[in-house]
């Protein structure tokens, strides 16, 4: 079990620690609802050092990324970030990821913690083009500072202006006395904020500086449990739950990151193009509970007669929306907003309604 560069702080702050993706990670500190509300109204600090970072460099870097991802990385410019996914050659998804363009021959791929080794092997096995690949995952620590006051607080630690940064952009800057920190504004919570990438050896200094800078704004440490409720209220997919090797990006409602241009040839393009044009048997939908109940991952979705029509991929009681919410794959007849479905909870069929995501409107 690996520790991150911040484990000592989590333990000192009284975190409930559990294994996650091979790491000893904080699940909660003050409690899920309190942490969730802190991020929605103020700012919270997350340890996301378990995420993977893979560099793609050289004159073939862009061509390689275009081949192994669904989105069109040719539209990126220096300092821009893009959400994308790796198709697995069988119509499914190896992983979803972020693509950072540093310059025309330098890209950073940020991948999910549980998939780092799998993703690395996939990229290496598909690198016939000769791009330069380097797995830096064990060398980089990462903090996410999320919430409406996050950028205002972090501005205290750098002379570079960050409060006006657009969503899905990044800068290399001096931060808390550390040079060449990557400061990004992507986020997985829907409440604004930033991600800070640093070398492991700078992690302690930066964590202490962030906590000190955020103190006047009410910063709190946030665990992975609240991270999950925050992302689910936004309808963001979680790999291993809502997308995996058996789901296509078209089925998952990720057609917007699957670009069918004449100049881009990528793995499974023909499969996804056919699905895009002809439709799919099932789609990932969002639903909210009408009857009182909390949906959970793995619960059956049934019709009015009790026939199974799907499975809940993610579900929770949304702390901000104050109702049971979830996502599930359902057949075409149940995809439209307003469709009535039922969630099987403790042998009872509880009524729910298909709704457009995000659940949390901010």
pLDDT digits (tens, 9 = 90+) for 170-226: 999 999 999 999 999 999 999 999 999 999 999 999 999 999 999 999 999 999 999
pLDDT digits (tens, 9 = 90+) for 314-339: 999 999 999 999 999 999 999 999 99
The share of the chain scoring above pLDDT 90, in percent, equals 99
Chain centroid to Cα 44, Å, comes to 16
CATH topology of domain 281-355: Elongation Factor Tu (Ef-tu); domain 3 (2.40.30)
CATH topology of domain 7-50+138-233: Gyrase A; domain 2 (3.30.1360)
Q: Say which residues have a Cβ less than 8 Å from residue 68's Cβ, sequence separation at least 6.
A: 86, 87, 122, 123, 126, 266, 267
pLDDT digits (tens, 9 = 90+) for 52-74: 999 999 999 999 999 999 999 99
**pLDDT classification of 237: cutoffs 50, 70, 90:** very high
Instruction: Determine the pLDDT at residue 189.
Output: 97
* Tokens coding 279: 């439709």
What average pLDDT does the segment 138-167 reach? 98
**pLDDT classification of 362: cutoffs 50, 70, 90:** confident
Tracing tokens 């000893």 back to the chain, one arrives at: 24
Chain centroid to Cα 248, Å, comes to 17
Q: What is the pTM of this model?
A: 0.97
Q: Domain locations in the chain?
A: 7-50+138-233, 281-355
């Amino acid at each position: 079990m690996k520790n991150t560069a911040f484990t000592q702080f989590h333990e000192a702050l009284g975190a409930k620690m559990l294994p996650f993706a091979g790491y000893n990670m904080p699940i909660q500190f003050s409690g899920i609802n309190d942490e969730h509300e802190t991020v929605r109204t103020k700012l919270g600090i997350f340890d996301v050092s378990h995420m993977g970072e893979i560099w793609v460099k050289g004159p073939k870097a862009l061509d390689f990324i275009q081949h192994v991802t669904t989105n069109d990385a040719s539209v990126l410019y220096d300092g821009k970030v893009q959400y994308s996914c790796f198709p697995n050659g069988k119509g499914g998804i190896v992983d979803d990821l972020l693509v950072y363009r540093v310059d025309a021959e330098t890209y950073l791929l940020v991948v999910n913690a549980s998939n780092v080794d799998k993703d690395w092997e996939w990229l290496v096995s598909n690198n016939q083009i000769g791009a330069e690949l380097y797995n830096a995952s064990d060398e980089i620590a990462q903090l996410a500072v999320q919430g409406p006051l996050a950028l205002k607080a972090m501005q205290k630690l750098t002379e570079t202006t960050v409060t006006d940064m657009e969503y899905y952009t990044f800068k290399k800057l001096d931060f808390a006395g550390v040079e060449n920190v990557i400061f990004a504004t992507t986020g997985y919570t829907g409440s604004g904020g930033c991600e800070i990438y640093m070398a492991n050896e700078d992690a302690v200094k930066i964590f202490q500086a962030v906590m000190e800078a955020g103190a006047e704004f009410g910063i709190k440490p946030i665990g992975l449990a609240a991270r999950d409720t925050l992302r689910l209220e936004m309808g963001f997919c979680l790999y291993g739950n809502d997308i995996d090797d058996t789901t296509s990006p078209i089925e998952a409602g990720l057609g917007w990151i699957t670009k069918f241009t004449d100049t881009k040839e990528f793995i499974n393009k023909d499969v996804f193009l056919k699905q895009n044009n002809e439709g799919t048997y099932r789609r990932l939908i969002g639903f909210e509970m009408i009857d009182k109940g909390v949906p959970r991952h793995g619960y059956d979705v049934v019709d009015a007669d009790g026939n199974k029509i799907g499975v809940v991929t993610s579900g929770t009681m949304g702390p901000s929306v104050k109702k049971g919410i979830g996502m599930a794959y359902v057949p075409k007849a149940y995809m439209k907003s307003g469709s009535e479905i039922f969630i099987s909870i403790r042998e009872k069929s509880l009524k729910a309604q298909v709704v457009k995501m995000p659940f949390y409107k901010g």
